[in-house]
Amino acid sequence: MDLNGLTLTEAKEGLLSKQFSSSELTKACLKRIKATDEKLHAFVTLTEAHALEDARHADELLSEGQDLPLLGIPFVIKDNFSTKGIQTTASSNVLRGYIPPFDATVVAKLKAAGMVMLGKTNMDAFAHGSSTETSDFGTTKNPWNTEFLPGGSSGGTAASVAADQTIAGIGSETAGSIRQPAGWCGIVGLKPTYGRVSRYGVVTMASSTDSPGPMTKRVEDSALVLNVLAGKDPHDGTSSPKPTKDYAANLKKSIKGKKIGISSKYLEGVEGDVVKAFNEAKKTFEKLGATVVDIASLGVDILDPKYSIGVYTILQRAEVSSNLARFDGIRFGQTRDAFGEEAKRRIMLGTYTLSAGYYDAYYKKALKVRTIIVSEFHKMFEKVDAFIAPTSPSTALPLGSSKNHPMFGEMADVLVEPSSIAGLPGINVPAGFSSKNLPIGLQIMGPQFAEDIILNLAHEFETNTEWHLQKPQL
């Protein structure tokens, strides 16, 4: 196998045991990118020269015996993370040519941990969408079938990781933007608890739900990256002071006796292939000694996930309308005409719901329903250790599906939105393939700051299935 096909854990071992150098690893990735990216279009900006320089530096440190957690490991970063000296567009024309004078905290931490950055990946413009079709720089294609969408908004990172263009990647999720593209591209995507990973320097979408996280080939890889990213950031007042854990420490722990909740409300309107894979997944967990139980039988009632669409739409549009106000045409080169259709729609809707006379009917009401959703999850997690569901109602949809469907993203993300609104952690793991040979994702959600629990469940599921071993043919 080519070096670029390695998982993070394998690459780290290879580098430490000097089987290959970071330069070789990085060159393998760059070669793969050149061979495949015309087809996939996962990148907005490729930083080849920087990457080779970083790799050379990493090799020096490696030869000195330095042991940084991600030393010499190639990464791709979603283009909404500010990167000092490197164009950061959030895939919007509004920010075309914008070069941040600072690194996002996530980027700074990855750099300090020794990563090699290959480039900045495509996404829905300002993360508005679940397809990458709202990107002003073209649509990314699904590596499993380039006639299909990769999902979004972190579609570029998902496609890049799935296509072995990189060892690992970084995405961000507001409601589904890590888990849904990870599901559609057949990789692991971890959305941490809101506040577990700093948002500083991430071009803001919805401040109250944005959560950066790893997108990787294996569960263990995500745990290793989270070890680097997690923690209080003095630059982000919403980051949590709660102590972090060693997220890789308990991955292999037996899950015997764990109680896993499910709900029929998360299966309504879900495609047959996806339901079938979900039922298989249940059996896998039971085989491993966990109890899978319908939460209704525990006397726990939860709102139909469809209600979270309304809540999320109101809150997120409101925050978007305010967060995008800074692009006023004075300092960032482009005027507000440069916003795409989706951003304009969101700005208008958000402005409307915050206006005098409408605030109580929309924003305030949405906040109240959010409180209900939070407390429902809280009650549920008093009875179960984790909650599983399909990540998306469908597998990847064909190119063009999001056009003329303003609520496309919300429908595609209906099963991840409740936990996003509640700020809970969730992880996507590959759980099967559809009749069209497109990946199916399973998501495991847990209570606040229980990343260790869902990583443990995900790892045990992964170890006892083989879906993750399949590779797309490009």
- Which spans of this chain sit near other proteins (rule: CB under 8 A)? 80-82, 88, 90, 95, 98, 100-102, 104, 199-204, 206-208, 234-238, 318-319, 321-322, 324-328, 330-331, 351, 354-356, 359, 363
* Smaller CB separation from other proteins, 106 or 442: 106
Which runs of consecutive H residues, i.e. helices, occur in 288-394? 306-323, 341-354, 365-383
CA distance 55 to 49: 10
Give the residue among 448, 396, 441, 436 at the shortest CA–CA distance from 415: 441
For residue 373, the minimal CB distance to other proteins (Å) is: 17
Instruction: Fill in the amino acid letter for 218.
Output: R
Which runs of consecutive H residues, i.e. helices, occur in 42-83? 48-63
* Smaller CB separation from other proteins, 283 or 359: 359
For residue 291, the minimal CB distance to other proteins (Å) is: 36
CA distance 343 to 356: 22
CA distance 224 to 193: 16
For residue 211, the minimal CB distance to other proteins (Å) is: 13
Give the residue among 133, 130, 119 at the shortest CA–CA distance from 154: 130
CA distance 205 to 171: 13
For residue 45, the minimal CB distance to other proteins (Å) is: 15
Residues serving a catalytic function are: 78, 153, 177
CA distance 241 to 234: 10
Cα-based distances in Å from 84 to 52, 105, 120, 124: 17, 11, 12, 21
Q: How far is CA 123 from the centre of its chain?
A: 11
CA distance 153 to 130: 5
Give the residue among 128, 68, 95 at the shortest CA–CA distance from 346: 128
Angle between helices 272-287 and 451-463 (to 10 degrees): 100
- Residues whose CB is less than 8 angstroms from the CB of residue 404 and which lie 6 or more positions away in sequence, other chains included: none
Give the three-state DSSP class for 7: coil
* Smaller CB separation from other proteins, 107 or 219: 107
Structure tokens at 117: 């950055």
Burial of 136 (0-12, 13-18, 19+ CB in 10 A): buried
* Smaller CB separation from other proteins, 244 or 351: 351
**CB 466: neighbour CB atoms within 10 A?**
9
* Smaller CB separation from other proteins, 186 or 212: 212
Residue 66 per-residue DSSP state: -
* Smaller CB separation from other proteins, 16 or 325: 325
Give the residue among 414, 439, 443 at the shortest CA–CA distance from 427: 443
* Smaller CB separation from other proteins, 65 or 234: 234
For residue 230, the minimal CB distance to other proteins (Å) is: 17
CA distance 349 to 332: 24
For residue 287, the minimal CB distance to other proteins (Å) is: 43
For residue 272, the minimal CB distance to other proteins (Å) is: 39
For residue 441, the minimal CB distance to other proteins (Å) is: 28
